[in-house]
Chain A
Amino acid sequence: MEAGVLDALGAAIVACDARRAAELARQSVDQGVDPLQSFEAMTVAMTEVGRRFEAGECWLPDLVGAADAMQAATPIVEEEIRRQGMARQSLGTVVAGTVEGDIHSIGMQMVCTLLVGAGFEVHNLGISVQPAAFVAAVREHEASVLALSALLTVTAAEQGKVIALLEAEGLRDAVKVMVGGGAVTDDFARRVGADGYEPSAVGAVALAQRFVADLKGSAISQ
């Protein structure tokens, strides 16, 4: 029975069925399945979707749909993990948002969804977020990655202001900053002091994964 519900949970994620995934997550809890195993099954499913995406067997909406399904099931499983006094190992904590003055959100939403699907804990602050709010969230959640989005040339400059405030608050070295959006390039990212830039949502997830690996490596060497 346990194998059956876990297989079905994975299948629901691959099928981008958020409602079914949430139902099966609840079912797994009710059946007493180890919630860490449930989370593992979800991660395996997302990895399979990622493999298919890389192989050109499925496309961006399939990736986002699967991540949405995982996002629907995750809180149910996580609540059970906490109730049993256990802890889930997330890849890292990400604070994300669109900078002040910019109301475009679709790119950031896709990045956040895919980050959750990849195993990150994500705090999406929304649109038109002031620099101080970003910094406060980084501090509160002990974020390892800060993801800033800006679509317009005029708002892209706000990304530099957030980075400058992180430095002023003594937080810059503790967090990796990635920037993105229509107005951003590699060169611009370097100019504003960001740690990286990727033009696609999928690339942003890979960048976040490299960031946390770098941070872990730095922690070990210290």
Chain B
Amino acid sequence: MSKVGGKMLDGYQRRFRAIEVVSAAELDAMHQAALEILERAGATVQHEGALALLAEHGCRVDRDAQKAYLPTGLVERCLESCPSSYSIRGRDPGSDVRIGGTRVHFMQGMGMRYVDPDTWELRPATLREHAEAQIVGDALDSVHVMDACFAYTDIAGVPPIMQQLECLASGLRFSGKPQHYGYLKDSHRYAIRMAQALGVTLNSEIDVAPPIVFGHDAVEALIAFAEIGWGLEACPGGAAGATSPGSLAGSVVQMWAGTLAFIVLTQLVNPGAPVGRQVTGTVLHPKWGHPLDGAPESWLLGAMTNQLCARHGVPITSPVGFCGQAKSFDYQAAWEKALGVFFSVTTGSHLHVLHGSHGEELGFSNVLQVMDDDIARAIGRLLDGTEVSDETMATELIVEVASTGANFMSQAHTRQYWMKDRFQPATADWDTNVEWVKGGRTDVVSRARERAEAILATHRPTPLSAEQERAVSEVLDEARECYRASALITAGEWEPYMQAVRSLEGLSQAPTAGTIGGA
């Protein structure tokens, strides 16, 4: 159980059965449909080595079309060899997170740009703001896994090819918790070296383009992570009605087929390699065609996927409900997130993306990280449930009070249970109206801003040792030189990039007040 104020990363325990939205027969039907798709339509695999591997294991391969047709027997054997849970390792002792089973953890969210909490405008973040987002995430008990790679993906001055590496480096410097990662061209080889130098592992998402297409870079990254046995998340794409069928079941089937193909590849590279599914797929706005993460139909897609994964022992990372369509941190933002995340968690997801994401993943905010902490901990409290026993049913106490006209407030039993396992919001206001007026009629956004500032002023993540910092810097330097040589970092990009890197000086070891609310 995660404790308020503590630093345990056990997460929460789902003590009740996950809600089922489809029947066992319907799950079997969708699974069989996916198997049929893999046999009849196959997967496009834009990687000669992977095609050869698939051919070696009985797939019919058309090299000209870069197609592999996966026989059901192979798929089922590979599914069987997947572990039903796996761990990811962080720097801090006791920070490891196990994904699978009945445990539920939360992951820092993803978002492209900085959200100004005064104007709600979106702009590129600075590298310093990104580092501050890591410090805040590290301080929050309900964030168990960090997503430094994707918390701000548009960072001023940082060349796109270096975005994930710089962000990962900041994440490793400013948090001791395990890290999520992705892939970008061949930068994963530097990410792996950085993580290995610090003795941590990464949990990486690799996409499967719709309908079932494995790009060359994606396969290269998949092979690299599978070979070393680090966690991988299959991310098949599917926007219902555009890149997958317009029906929810059809979208689920297509993406499940992509998941199975992904599992086959990982297991052929390294039998027993840990692999899970990042729950993807949304419905689209009926008029404008953009993804609707805040739509109940998108949540249903996620719930059906959760059930399929649970049935076949596939660990689940889910961003369902992590952000909706709200343009500010308002009532809409709250219900979109809380309902979506709650539904996903209660239908079986294991690692849940949440903190800080905003507006169709177009934005990220420290203020929202703090507000989402309440959502995560409240959901965690629900998951932990409550004990039913002779002690807690308190039959004798009820009989006594009913017989004597006493009250419960003065009972020892009450003193024992009054605060036992009670959720306390860190940002939401539960005081009386009178107290609220006396306190200045603050709203939740302003309270969250204050809390985020306080965290930045006081929280000190476990620092890197000098040797660890040297190792990280050496890998970054090598990556920069490699990408400069191949013109993926242009001459014009270099000086602004170095200015951005220098902006982190002075932030590294000391607590500092941040710039919440604008640069």
List CB contacts (< 8 Å) of A27-70 with chain B.
53, 56, 59-61
Question: Which listed residue, B153, B161, B286, touches A59 by the CB 8 Å rule?
Answer: B286
Q: Does A110 count as interface, using CB distance less than 8 angstroms?
A: yes
List CB contacts (< 8 Å) of A104-162 with chain B.
104, 106-107, 110, 153-157
- Residue of A whose beta carbon sits closest to that of B243: A106
Give, as a whole number of angstroms, the nearest-CB distance from B487 to chain A.
11
Q: A153-B160, A154-B161 are in contact. Are A183 and B288 (CB under 8 A)?
A: no
Q: Does B292 count as interface, using CB distance less than 8 angstroms?
A: no
Are the C-beta atoms of A60 and B288 separated by less than 8 Å? Answer: yes
Are the C-beta atoms of B241 and A153 separated by less than 8 Å? Answer: no
Are the C-beta atoms of B289 and A153 separated by less than 8 Å? Answer: no
Contact residues in A for B215 (Cβ distance below 8 Å)? 103
Stretch at the interface among A11-19, A77-85, A197-205, A211-219: A197-205
- Residue of B whose beta carbon sits closest to that of A156: B160
Q: Mark B357-371, 1 if CB is under 8 A from A, else 0.
A: 000001000000000
Complex Cα–Cα for A155 and B160 (A): 8
The number of residues on chain A lying at the interface, defined by a beta carbon within 8 Å of a beta carbon of chain B, is 23
Q: A61-B241, A103-B209, A153-B153 are in contact. Are A183 and B287 (CB under 8 A)?
A: no
Are the C-beta atoms of B290 and A200 separated by less than 8 Å? Answer: yes
Contact residues in B for A104 (Cβ distance below 8 Å)? 209
List CB contacts (< 8 Å) of A174-193 with chain B.
183, 185, 187
Contact residues in B for A157 (Cβ distance below 8 Å)? 159-160
Main secondary structure of the interface of A (DSSP, over half): helix
The number of residues on chain B lying at the interface, defined by a beta carbon within 8 Å of a beta carbon of chain A, is 27
Contact residues in B for A200 (Cβ distance below 8 Å)? 287-290
Q: Does B242 count as interface, using CB distance less than 8 angstroms?
A: yes
Q: A103-B213, A185-B122 are in contact. Are A154 and B289 (CB under 8 A)?
A: no
Complex Cα–Cα for A59 and B113 (A): 30
List CB contacts (< 8 Å) of B429-476 with chain A.
none
Are the C-beta atoms of A153 and B286 separated by less than 8 Å? Answer: no
Are the C-beta atoms of A154 and B213 separated by less than 8 Å? Answer: no
Are the C-beta atoms of A153 and B112 separated by less than 8 Å? Answer: yes
Contact residues in B for A201 (Cβ distance below 8 Å)? 288-289
Q: Does B123 count as interface, using CB distance less than 8 angstroms?
A: yes
Q: Does B427 count as interface, using CB distance less than 8 angstroms?
A: no
Contact residues in A for B287 (Cβ distance below 8 Å)? 53, 56, 59-60, 200, 202
Contact residues in B for A59 (Cβ distance below 8 Å)? 286-287
Q: A60-B284, A183-B154, A185-B122 are in contact. Are A110 and B160 (CB under 8 A)?
A: no
Are the C-beta atoms of A199 and B154 separated by less than 8 Å? Answer: no
Contact residues in B for A183 (Cβ distance below 8 Å)? 112, 154
Q: Does B184 count as interface, using CB distance less than 8 angstroms?
A: yes
Are the C-beta atoms of B154 and A153 separated by less than 8 Å? Answer: yes
Contact residues in B for A61 (Cβ distance below 8 Å)? 241, 246
Give, as a whole number of angstroms, the nearest-CB distance from A202 to chain B.
7
Q: Does B221 count as interface, using CB distance less than 8 angstroms?
A: no
Contact residues in A for B159 (Cβ distance below 8 Å)? 157
- Residue of A whose beta carbon sits closest to that of B286: A59
Contact residues in A for B242 (Cβ distance below 8 Å)? 106, 110
Are the C-beta atoms of A154 and B184 separated by less than 8 Å? Answer: yes
- Residue of B whose beta carbon sits closest to that of A101: B185
Complex Cα–Cα for A173 and B154 (A): 29
Complex Cα–Cα for A199 and B122 (A): 15
Q: Does B163 count as interface, using CB distance less than 8 angstroms?
A: yes
Q: Mark B232-255, 1 if CB is under 8 A from A, else 0.
A: 000000010111001000000000
Q: Mark B281-297, 1 if CB is under 8 A from A, else 0.
A: 00011111110000000
Question: Which listed residue, A103, A106, A202, touches B239 by the CB 8 Å rule?
Answer: A106
What are 11 A-to-B residue pairs whose CB atoms are below 8 Å?
A: A53-B287, A56-B287, A59-B286, A59-B287, A60-B288, A104-B209, A106-B242, A155-B160, A185-B122, A187-B123, A200-B290
Ranked nearest first, the 6 interchain pairs of A and B with the lowest CB-CB distance are A154-B160, A200-B288, A59-B286, A153-B153, A106-B242, A60-B289
Given contacts A59-B287, A185-B122, 4 further A-B contacts (CB under 8 A): A60-B285, A60-B286, A110-B289, A200-B287
